[in-house]
Amino acid sequence: MSAGWRTLLLRIGDRCAEYGGSADHKEHIETCYGVLSREYEHSRDAIFEFLLQCTEQLPHKIPFFGVLIGLINLENEDFSKAIVDTTQANLQDALHNENRDRIRILLRFLSGLMCSKVVVPSSIIETFETLLSSAVTILDDETGNPSWQPRADFYVYCILASLPWAGPELFEQVPDEFERVLFGIQSYISIRRHFDDIAFSVFETDEGHSPNKKGVFGSHLGKHAWAWALGLDVAVWRSFPGEDSN
């Protein structure tokens, strides 16, 4: 039976409509929750470690894991608090070690936990604003190091990449603070430097400019991401998998 709950965690949502199946994702989550509840007393530490591993190794299933932890939180706040504390510590470690994939995934996971009422919206806002502050400081000629602009760009990109999960809840729960974050992103984009990298100067567009002139936020991807963040209707945000489970 000890292997059963691991298999359920790994396969959670596999046959749901979001992945081309016909099964009800709520039934998957409830089944997994029931099994974990029965195994919790004997396998708490193993469940804790394996669940954290799953969120990082299967980030596309974060909405499912977030709802599952939200259900656990209703009965066992200590367990979910330990999940949050460990995730925040792991995020700090990832930032220190510049592990970009892990930073992006852990921010997404914290956003998913907020949607399941495990993390308060103000905590996500604080994290976003800390990243924004770091990004702006990097660009400052006196207190920062403008040559590190790619790092600052990445911090802002991580915020934008979290909005499909965090956006609806932040818009509803803390609209003024959410607007402040969006304004901060807009301000950052307006002050970041646009420059050519001589290493890529051999590649030119039809207009005779190197394609990286404006960096990630000047690219089609960056423009589309920002336009989406500002203009996407809340009703569309609600269509993302996992939002109906709040």
The 10s digit of each residue's pLDDT in 155-194 is 999 999 898 889 889 999 999 999 999 999 989 988 887 7
- Going along the chain from its start, the domains and CATH numbers come out as 1-116 (1.25.40.180), 120-246 (no CATH)
With a cut of 90, say whether residue 20 has pLDDT above it: no
Handedness of CA 33, 37, 121, 62 (dihedral sign): negative
Cα–chain center distance at 41: 31
Please state the pTM of the whole predicted model. 0.79
DSSP one-letter code for 209: S
Q: Which residue has the higher pLDDT, 217 or 156?
A: 156
Instruction: Give me the percent of the chain exceeding a pLDDT of 70.
Output: 74
Distances from the Cα of 90 to the Cα of 71, 79, 133, 192, 226, angstroms: 23, 16, 20, 29, 28
Q: What is the pLDDT of residue 139?
A: 87
Q: What is the pLDDT of residue 204?
A: 46
**Span 119-128, average pLDDT:** 97
Q: Which of 96-100, 156-160, 207-211, 242-246 has the lowest mean pLDDT?
A: 242-246
**Span 231-239, average pLDDT:** 42
Could you give the CA distance from residue 94 to residue 148 in angstroms, rounded to a whole number?
17
